[in-house]
C-alpha cells in the first residue's frame, strides 16, 4: 500500500491551456502566419518543451521567462511578429484562473492518502491556485524551487525529499506521458498516466481516463 499520492497540476487538477492556445493561434494567423491552429499548437509545445529541457542548474529560467522565449521562437518559425508581452500576460492570467476538474476535486476530497502536488510552474502561481480553490493538499513543490523541469528526475527526487517521502512510498499521477508518467518512472516512482484526451496508449503504460478510476487503482492491494 502506498503512503501518499503526488499529482501534477495543469491538465491534471486544473484545465490545460488548450482554449488559450486557440486564441494564441488566432493572433499569429491575424498577423500573417500561414499555419493551421493545430500547427501553431504544435509549435508552442515543441518550443516550450525544448526551452524547459535546457533550463536547469545555472541555466534555469522560470516559466515567465520561458513564455517570452517560446513566443520569440514561434515568431522566427512562422515569420511573423506579434505582441509578445500581451501573449505572456495572457498565459500568466490563465495560470492564475484555470478551473479545476470536478473529478480532481472529488479525488482530493475522497482519497484516504495524503496528496501532494509537484508541477512545472512558478511557485507564486501554484500557491495562489491552491489557496484560491482551497485544495486539500499537504504540500507542493515547483520547478522554480527545483531549478529544473520535469521530466528530469531531479525535480522528483527533490520534491520527495521536501515531502519526507521515498520513491517506493508514492504513486505519481499526471496527464503528460513524457513529463509525468515516464519522468516519474525514471525517478523510480510508480506512476499513472491520466489520459484525459483518450490518446493512443503505448504498450505497458498504466493509464486511467479520470480520477474516479484512479482512486480504486491506487488503493488496490499491491499497486
Give tens-digit pLDDT for 192-211: 999 999 999 999 999 999 99
Q: Rounded mean pLDDT of the chain?
A: 96
Q: Rounded to whole angstroms, how far apart are CA atoms 84 and 69?
A: 9
- Is residue 221 pLDDT above 70, yes or no? no
Q: What pLDDT does 157 receive?
A: 98
- Is residue 223 pLDDT above 70, yes or no? no
Q: What pLDDT does 20 receive?
A: 94
- Is residue 104 pLDDT above 80, yes or no? yes
| Cβ atoms of 196 and 180 closer than 8 Å | no
Cis peptide before 112 (omega within 30 of 0): no
Cα 94 off chain centre by: 13
The grid coordinates listed for 13 are 487538477
Query: Within the chain, which residue ranges are assigned CATH 3.40.50.1000?
Result: 4-15+99-219
Q: Which CATH architecture has domain 18-95?
A: Orthogonal Bundle (1.10)
Q: What pLDDT does 220 receive?
A: 84
> Which of the following CATH numbers is that of domain 4-15+99-219: 3.40.50.300, 3.90.470.20, 3.40.50.1000, 3.40.50.10420?
3.40.50.1000
194-200's contacts with Cβ under 8 Å and 24+ in sequence apart are 194/8, 194/11, 194/12, 196/11
Q: Estimate the share of the chain in helix, then strand, then coil, as percent rounded to the nearest 5.
A: 55, 15, 35
- Is residue 222 pLDDT above 70, yes or no? no
Average pLDDT value for residue range 156-171: 98
Amino acid at each position: 500500500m502506498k503512503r501518499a499520492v503526488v499529482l501534477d497540476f495543469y491538465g491534471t487538477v486544473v484545465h490545460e491551456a488548450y482554449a488559450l492556445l486557440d486564441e494564441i493561434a488566432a493572433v499569429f494567423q491575424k498577423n500573417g502566419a500561414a499555419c493551421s491552429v493545430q500547427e501553431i499548437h504544435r509549435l508552442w509545445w515543441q518550443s516550450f518543451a525544448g526551452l524547459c529541457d535546457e533550463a536547469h542548474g545555472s541555466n534555469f529560467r522560470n516559466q515567465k521567462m520561458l513564455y517570452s522565449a517560446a513566443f520569440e521562437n514561434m515568431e522566427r518559425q512562422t515569420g511573423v511578429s506579434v505582441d509578445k508581452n500581451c501573449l505572456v500576460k495572457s498565459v500568466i492570467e490563465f495560470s492564475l484562473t484555470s478551473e479545476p476538474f470536478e473529478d480532481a476535486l472529488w479525488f482530493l476530497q475522497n482519497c484516504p492518502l495524503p496528496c501532494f502536488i509537484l508541477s512545472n510552474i512558478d511557485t507564486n502561481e501554484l500557491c495562489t491556485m491552491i489557496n484560491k480553490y482551497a485544495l486539500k493538499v499537504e504540500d507542493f513543490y515547483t520547478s522554480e524551487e527545483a531549478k529544473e523541469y520535469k521530466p528530469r528526475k531531479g525535480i522528483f527526487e527533490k520534491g520527495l525529499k521536501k515531502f519526507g517521502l521515498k520513491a517506493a512510498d508514492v504513486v505519481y499521477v499526471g496527464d503528460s506521458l513524457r513529463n509525468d508518467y515516464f519522468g516519474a518512472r525514471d525517478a523510480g516512482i510508480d506512476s499513472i498516466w491520466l489520459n484525459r484526451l483518450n490518446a493512443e496508449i503505448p504498450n505497458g503504460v498504466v493509464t486511467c481516463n479520470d480520477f474516479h478510476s484512479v482512486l480504486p487503482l491506487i488503493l488496490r492491494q499491491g499497486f
